Structures are given as structure tokens and as C-alpha cells.
Amino acid sequence: QTGALTPGAAVDLAGRTVTINSGQVNDSTNALIANSLTLDINSGTSANTVKTTVSTLAVNTTDSTDATGRSITVTETDGVALGVVNVSTGTFNLTAPGAITQTGVMTADKLVLTNTGGTTTLGQNNVIANLGAIDATGGAFSLTNTAALTLTDTINAGTNTVTINNGANAVTFALGGNKDITASSFTVTAQDVDALDTIGSLGTTNVVLRPDGTADTMDLAVTDGTEFTLTTNDIAELKSGTGTV
């Protein structure tokens, strides 16, 4: 199947393992219902939208033409276990009001996620370039990543924890000065952290910043360097909140 897929009603294959090879999928109303669903999509230059009721989900949009065509918005009706998700230069936008876990690596230019009903544990060696808007008010959010990561939008975990382990790669904050980070604690492990002063507000969030290696050097109140460095502006941003650092 190379043409677009447009369900006219809910597609109920409950309990079954389903693989769909198609062109663009564009339906936010009618759910694809299965135990396990694999989407292999070539949508050219058109973005994808799908509603699911599944236990496990795998996605591959890499055959599409550009970043728009490789992007997909998934609205899941419950929690979900993610298998391999590869949207390459596209955006993976997931809403799921339950426990989100993964068994396969996610590769994406950007991850956008909403989970108001459970914890989110993305513990594989993911390759994500940008972290967009995150609503983790349903439970703790944790991400393991293996590439330089830029935070571009609001992170709201309410009273829950946010943990980002970026290993031997930098985390850059690019929140424009008006987008907040809200959590009981916000922990980042990385080779370096840059531009903390772009955070709108930390409020009462407790912040933990860790170099990726216990023997790494940490430079404070100096010009930004290649190792773990907190500039004067970074320190001022941390001071502006009322949580612990």
C-alpha cells in the first residue's frame, strides 16, 4: 500500500499484531485498535496524524521525503510501550495518558510529549536532537539520550521529577526567556549545560546538574567552555528560583 490511509471508522483488531505499510496517515478521530501496531509510512511531504489504542507501538517514517513528511502525531488512549521509533529528521509528537515505556531506540529531530496519567520512562539509548514541549503532570519523566540535546519549549511536570541523562553530550537550553521549567526536581547529567539563562522561570524547582564523569572538571562563573561550565548568567538563572541547587 503506497496511497494514503484514511479510516472511515475505528479499526478494531484488538488482540492482534498489526503492521501497516502506507502513504500518509491522517486521522485523529478513528482509532487503530490492536495489541501491537507497527506503522511503516512513506507520506512524501505530508505530516501524519493517528489515533491508537495499542499496547505496543513501533514507527518508521524514514522513507518520506522531508522533515514534514517524517513527522507524526500519535494520540494513544492509554499507556503504551514504544518499540523502535525512527522519524529521522521529523518530529515525534506523542500524547498518552498512562505509563509510557520503551523497548527500542527512538531517533527523532524533536520529541514532543504529553502524559497526564502516568510515568514516562524513555531509558533506551535514544538519538533525539531537540526536546520540545513536555507535559509530564501525570508522573515522573526520564529520558536517556546519546546525542547533543537542545531544550526548546516549556517543561511542566507539576510536582513530579524530570531526569535527563545525556551522557557525554551537551544539553543546551533555548527556551527564549519566556518558557518555564516546573518540576519537584530537574536533574541533568551531561558533558556540559549551556544557556540556562534562556529559561523563563524555575520557580520552586529543585535543580541538580551533573557532569557525565565523576573525574570531570567543573568551571564556575567563567566564560563558557567545552567542559562542564556554568557562566555568570547561568548561575544568576539558578539563583532566581526558590528551589535548591
- What tens digit of pLDDT does each residue of 78-132 get? 999 999 999 999 999 999 999 999 999 999 999 999 999 999 999 999 999 999 9
pLDDT score of 187: 96
Report strand pairing: 56-60 vs 26-41. Answer: parallel
Contact indicator for 217, 228 with CB cutoff of 8 Å: yes
Cα distances (Å, whole numbers) of residue 5 to 45, 61, 87: 15, 14, 18
Helices (H) and strands (E) in the chain, counts: 2, 21
Pick from 129, 137, 139: nearest CA to 154: 137
> For residues 14-33, b (16+ Cβ closer than 10 Å) or e, as one string?
eeeeeebebbbbbbeeebbb
Distances (CA, A) of 85 to 46, 48, 146, 155, 215: 18, 14, 15, 22, 34
Residues 23-69: tens digit of each pLDDT: 999 999 999 999 999 999 999 999 999 999 999 999 999 999 999 99
